[in-house]
């Protein structure tokens, strides 16, 4: 009976853009294989699109991933995939998620569930077969929209209507939703800047601020991953037009000292903000001439490669660099000793921090964009063989002097210059 009511009252029979595009996903991707595998597993088994992919189709946005929900338990999902020779791995089986891999495309399939116990960052869950029960445990109405393979929507929380009206509504009691997982505070900011057509509701902001300390319970990885999604949003710069969202970010990330600077980016920076990567974007937020970068690296766990990159930009600008330092002679040295990415970073950093567009810097950026590190034509072995210099300290000093001349001269050195060093 419940399944019958589900189909009659809680589905939109769409013959419009939404339905067509959801059908197109089924037809034009390997998702159809997953639908076939799970829907044929038993008489009552079913799988549906859920979350971001449905939301994005409703808003006519590009789809970058496909998430699915099913009334099968994780072990049954594995059986269904295995039976149909679909590769998979258990990414988060304890939370009910199996990732299928078809034609290099990943599909996250999560079993319906309900929360039994939450502590603000983790939830003890129980698997369910009730679609409405699964929808009720989700964060926002706009994320609780499901669709079958033919584009028929199951929307018990009126998420489609909220999307169309630009409303960001928590499902159920706002404070309870936040206390279940404090990351929802940051998710609220992301969805607000992307989909809201209204001002923040004062009661929502009041509840968020009352619970902001709960953020400390979350891992740095989860926080940065969610913030990265904000920076990848097409409306990222809208964040800096919304003082309340910005205030929440300062409370969550006090190390982001320079957020206000994004309100006054020069024209080049505005046009290229989506061409820079996340780590460089972080450098613009945390490097401020103090020990703030070290504090950020202490608080947030990022890879050693990314740490080195931030430290290098920070070190360069702690020397009080001005525009006069940006010459090919100086940058060639930096290129040779630190690599191409380091040069691009320090030029870009100066460009993005400048109030006006410096044509000189743009030209340098273009010059170094694809420049590879030159290889010095003279080696220590050359000096040993051609000039009979024995291995040792003298050899090292001679080679270093030649190398310095070569770098300072735009990676050129004459025989006469080499002879002069040898004789000195």
Q: Whose structure tokens read 């159920």? A: 172
Residue-wise pLDDT for 203-237, tens only, equals 999 999 999 999 999 999 999 999 999 999 999 99
Q: What is the per-residue pLDDT for 126?
A: 85
CA angle 39, 7, 128 (to 5 degrees): 60
Q: What is the per-residue pLDDT for 69?
A: 97
The two beta strands, 97-102 and 11-12, are: unpaired
What pTM value is reported for the model? 0.87
Phi then psi dihedrals of residue 263, to 5 deg: -75, -20
Confidence band, pLDDT 50/70/90 cuts, at residue 12: very low
Mean pLDDT of 291-312: 95
Domain 173-253 has CATH 1.10.110: yes
Q: What is the per-residue pLDDT for 188?
A: 98
Give the span between the Cα atoms of 232 and 380, in whole angstroms.
Answer: 48
Q: What is the per-residue pLDDT for 122?
A: 64
Q: What is the per-residue pLDDT for 125?
A: 74
User: What are the residues facing 242 on neighbouring strands?
Assistant: none
Mean pLDDT of 409-416: 90
Q: What is the per-residue pLDDT for 368?
A: 94
Q: What is the per-residue pLDDT for 7?
A: 46
Average pLDDT, the chain: 91
Under 8 Å between Cβ of 109 and 89? no
Phi then psi dihedrals of residue 69, to 5 deg: -125, 150
The answer to whether residue 186 scores a pLDDT higher than 60 is yes
Q: Which of 274, 219, 210, 283 is nearest to 248 (CA)?
A: 210
Give the span between the Cα atoms of 140 and 137, in whole angstroms.
Answer: 9
Least confident of 26-40, 66-80, 114-128, 180-194: 114-128
| Domains of the chain, residue spans | 1-172, 173-253, 264-373, 380-423
Residue-wise pLDDT for 110-142, tens only, equals 999 987 766 656 667 789 999 999 999 999 999
Least confident of 23-37, 340-354, 410-424: 410-424
DSSP string, 84-108: TT-EEEEEEGGGTEEEEEETTEEEE
Q: What is the per-residue pLDDT for 124?
A: 73
Q: Is the backbone of residue 181 left (phi > 0), alpha (psi -120 to 50) or beta?
A: beta
**253: number of Cβ within 10 Å:** 21
Homologous superfamily of 1-172? Beta Polymerase, domain 2 (3.30.460.10)
Residue-wise pLDDT for 369-383, tens only, equals 989 999 998 888 889
Q: What is the per-residue pLDDT for 9?
A: 40
Give the span between the Cα atoms of 252 and 282, in whole angstroms.
Answer: 14
Mean pLDDT of 294-305: 95
Q: Which of 318, 369, 322 is nearest to 345 (CA)?
A: 369
Under 8 Å between Cβ of 123 and 117? yes
Q: What is the per-residue pLDDT for 154?
A: 95
Q: Which residue has the higher pLDDT, 174 or 322?
A: 174
Under 8 Å between Cβ of 344 and 369? yes
Give the span between the Cα atoms of 189 and 196, in whole angstroms.
Answer: 10
The answer to whether residue 158 scores a pLDDT higher than 50 is yes
Q: What is the per-residue pLDDT for 115?
A: 76
- Residue 37's H or E segment, with its range, is helix 31-39
**59: number of Cβ within 10 Å:** 13
Crossing angle (nearest 10°) for helices 278-286 and 292-299 = 130
The answer to whether residue 179 scores a pLDDT higher than 90 is yes
Q: Which of 55, 46, 49 is nearest to 25 (CA)?
A: 49
The answer to whether residue 10 scores a pLDDT higher than 60 is no
Under 8 Å between Cβ of 286 and 257? yes
In percent, the amount of the chain with pLDDT more than 90 equals 73
The answer to whether residue 11 scores a pLDDT higher than 50 is no
Confidence band, pLDDT 50/70/90 cuts, at residue 4: very low
Q: What is the per-residue pLDDT for 118?
A: 66
Q: Whose structure tokens read 């929502």? A: 204
């Amino acid at each position: 009976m419940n399944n019958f009511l589900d189909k009659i009252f809680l589905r939109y029979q769409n013959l419009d853009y939404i339905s067509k595009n959801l059908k197109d996903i089924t037809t034009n991707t390997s998702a159809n294989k997953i639908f076939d595998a799970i829907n044929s597993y038993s008489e009552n088994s079913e799988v549906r699109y859920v979350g971001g992919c449905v939301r994005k189709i409703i808003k006519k946005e590009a789809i970058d991933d496909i998430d699915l929900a099913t009334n099968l338990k994780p072990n049954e999902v594995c059986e269904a995939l295995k039976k149909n020779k679909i590769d998979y791995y258990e990414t988060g089986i304890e939370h009910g998620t199996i990732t299928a891999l078809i034609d290099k495309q990943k599909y996250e399939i999560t079993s319906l569930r309900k929360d039994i116990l939450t502590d603000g960052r983790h939830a003890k869950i129980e698997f369910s077969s009730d679609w409405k029960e699964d929808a009720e445990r989700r964060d926002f109405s706009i994320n609780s929209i499901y669709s079958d393979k033919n584009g028929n929507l199951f929307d018990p929380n009126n998420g489609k209507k909220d999307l169309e009206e630009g409303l960001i509504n928590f499902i159920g009691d706002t404070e309870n939703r936040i206390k279940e997982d404090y990351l929802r505070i940051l998710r609220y900011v992301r969805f607000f800047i992307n989909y809201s057509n209204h001002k923040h509701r004062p009661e929502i902001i009041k509840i968020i601020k009352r619970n902001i300390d709960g953020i400390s319970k979350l891992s740095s990885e989860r926080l940065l991953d969610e913030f990265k999604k904000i920076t990848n949003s097409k409306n990222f710069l809208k964040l800096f037009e919304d003082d309340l969202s910005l205030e929440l970010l300062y409370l969550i990330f006090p190390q982001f000292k320079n957020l206000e600077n994004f309100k006054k980016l020069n024209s080049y920076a505005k046009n290229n903000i989506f061409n820079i990567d996340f780590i460089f974007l972080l450098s613009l937020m945390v490097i401020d001439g103090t020990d703030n970068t070290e504090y950020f690296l202490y608080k947030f766990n990022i890879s050693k490669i990314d740490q080195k990159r931030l430290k290098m930009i920070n070190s360069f600008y702690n020397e009080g660099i001005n525009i006069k330092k940006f010459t090919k002679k100086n940058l060639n040295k930096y290129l040779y000793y630190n690599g191409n990415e380091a040069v691009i970073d320090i030029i870009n950093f100066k460009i993005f921090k400048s109030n006006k567009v410096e044509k000189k810097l743009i030209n340098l950026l273009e010059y170094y964009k694809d420049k590879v590190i030159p290889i010095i034509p003279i080696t220590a072995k050359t000096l040993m063989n051609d000039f009979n210099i024995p291995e040792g300290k003298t050899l090292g000093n001679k080679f270093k002097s030649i190398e310095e001349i070569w770098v300072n001269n735009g990676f050129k050195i004459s025989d006469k210059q080499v002879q002069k060093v040898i004789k000195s």
